[in-house]
Amino acid sequence: MDMKVIKLPSVFGREVTHKYVINQSSSLVVMFPGKYYPCDLPVLYYANKVAVANKHDVLRLEYGYQSARTEITFDEINEANIVKECLEAINQVAHSYDRLIFVSKSIGTIVAGKVAELMDNRAIEHLFLTPLDSSIPYIQKNSGMVIYGTKDWVFSAESAEIVKNMKHIKTVAISNADHVFELEQIQDSYEALGVLIQAYQEFLSSE
């Protein structure tokens, strides 16, 4: 296994560093962080660990505003610049792979959905983690898995019901978990993490 970085300029005035783990694989997992939830925090950290253990290559994206340590609004995240910068990073390496898997968290589920639309109809598998209500159109267009907490304040019961009725999507609901899959009691949070890792293993299995 080797680790490289892909450094690219950003409209936010700072160079962006994307970490690239190379397992000499034919499959690439691309990780899209949340608004304030980078790839080294638990939900995505363990997704990365499971992906690497299953011999995938992994590209961990960083958004330009994260590199610049600046605030950003939801509308600005929806603008084309972030999507364009993520697509540019992915295009540095994607041509080398037969299989693409997008793992996205929160606002990243929207960025991943927008990027997928621009990738010339390439087949992409999606793991949507703690999506938003506004992620539904992108989930409807793609196949894969959705994992959410039943007490996530940004993913309504109505949205959960819509996703559960999609035949092309497998859903995993973690009872009483919030937007970062945590619960009131620390032991319950540990157990939720175990459920999460088991779902990662199922989805990212190299078999």
What pTM value is reported for the model? Answer: 0.94
CATH architecture of the domain covering 2-204: 3-Layer(aba) Sandwich (3.40)
Given phi > 0 = left and psi -120 to 50 = alpha, else beta, which region is 151? alpha
Write down the pLDDT at residue 187: 96
**Which residue positions in the chain have pLDDT lower than 70?**
65-80, 206-207
Write down the pLDDT at residue 73: 67
Write down the pLDDT at residue 77: 63
Residues 143, 127: contact at Cβ < 8 Å? no
Write down the pLDDT at residue 207: 55
Residues 147, 127: contact at Cβ < 8 Å? yes
Write down the pLDDT at residue 76: 65
Residues 89, 18: contact at Cβ < 8 Å? yes
Q: Which of 85, 155, 140 is nearest to 115 (CA)?
A: 85
